[in-house]
Amino acid sequence: MKICKKCGVEKPSDEFYKEKRVKDGLQARCIECCKADARTVFQRNPEPYRKRARNRNPESVRRTRLKTQYGITPEYVEELLDKQEGHCALCPATVSGHNMTDNLLVDHCHTIGKVRGLLCADCNLLLGCANDDISRLIDATCYLKKHAA
């Protein structure tokens, strides 16, 4: 337990960021107060932060995101895309249709984290809304067949 120097509330150690340079190894302010202070600084003068974000190399950002979120490289994504013959694993789409990127999206199992393939935004949303539940997807298919025009 530690008392936050800003809010004065006693909190468990896991509610403080680590700080190697101090005796107890924890920052003086709790995470909640640190975030509130950072928000205030940003709101007072957001331009330096926006400028830094604009100057980031998109390929470097993508490489880091793929590695941290999925444990894969852009080269592996290219291999997947080649195996899928350049399109979504479920439909013929060659671009994601996502508002942030044209790249197909990485589909992965949320339980074990295993990458399954590359999907367009619509197919990714389809699986996500079904919570990867095969029986729900089969039921949806049967429903559509039953009510086909």
Average pLDDT over residues 105-129: 94
Task: Kindly state which CATH superfamily the domain 56-146 is placed in.
Answer: His-Me finger endonucleases (3.40.1800.10)
CB 114 within 8 A of CB 108: yes
* pLDDT computed for residue 149 by the predictor: 74
Instruction: Quote the Cα angle for 55-59-62, to 5°.
Output: 105
* pLDDT computed for residue 136 by the predictor: 95
SS3 of 46, please? Answer: coil
- Residue type present at position 68: T
Confidence band of 54 (pLDDT split at 50, 70, 90): confident
Q: Where are the domains of the chain?
A: 2-53, 56-146
Residue 29 has pLDDT above 90, yes or no: yes
Query: Which pTM does this prediction carry?
Result: 0.65
Chain centroid to Cα 38, Å, comes to: 22
Of the chain, the percentage scoring pLDDT greater than 90 comes to 83
